[in-house]
Amino acid sequence: MTADKPLRADARRNREVLIAKAREVFDAGEFFELRFDDFARLAGVGTGTLYRHFPTREALAEAVYHGEVAALVDRARRLRATRPPAEALATFLRGVVDHIDAHEGLARTLATLMAGRSSGVAEGSQALEQAVTELVAAAVREGAVPVGTGADVDAAAGAVMMALHGIGAAHDRPGWRIEADQLITLVLDGLRRPR
């Protein structure tokens, strides 16, 4: 399958079904317990269809990851379009924590599987970082985040991303949710302080 050749409707449906089933298995925390071929059976497609779309377990996990990132990036855009900038940033960051909380199995599986940082994962991280940078930049333009230069905006967005990565990595600690909420509050308070 090439990137520039669109999928037929039935092939696109099969791909979406496989991704949805993998996401369910991730959420249940059973991704590593299943043989890779079992995804085809669970999704109701043949193994040939599975391997045509996803030749490896990592390729399937990467597709799930891209779907998650796309949903978060879309949420950031919608918030930027409908809320005041500071509120949009805070709502987005708290929403990411809610997302990790609601999909702990997915977060755990992706963290384990993606430790190698494939190029596809790097692209997804860049898209998420760009969405965060745009939220921070909008808050700067509004004056809610007193940052000076474009480099300062990038540094502030980088600090936000570091906090989100840390929360994602620590999601299996006891009491992580309270700590994550406190960290988001600290990050937002830190951004509001004059430089």
pLDDT tens for the chain, 195 residues long, are 445 566 688 888 999 999 999 988 888 878 878 899 988 999 999 999 999 999 998 889 889 888 988 999 999 999 999 999 999 999 999 999 999 888 877 777 666 655 655 666 667 778 889 999 999 999 988 888 887 655 688 888 889 999 988 888 887 788 899 999 999 999 999 888 766
Which CATH code is given to the segment(s) 58-192?
A: 1.10.357.10
Q: Would you say domain 9-53 falls under CATH 1.25.40? A: no
Decide if 161 contacts 130 (C-beta within 8 A). no
Would you state the structure tokens that stand for residue 145, as one six-digit string? 């985040």
Domain ranges of the chain: 9-53, 58-192
Q: Report how far residue 51's alpha carbon sits from residue 35's, in angstroms, rounded to the nearest whole number.
A: 13
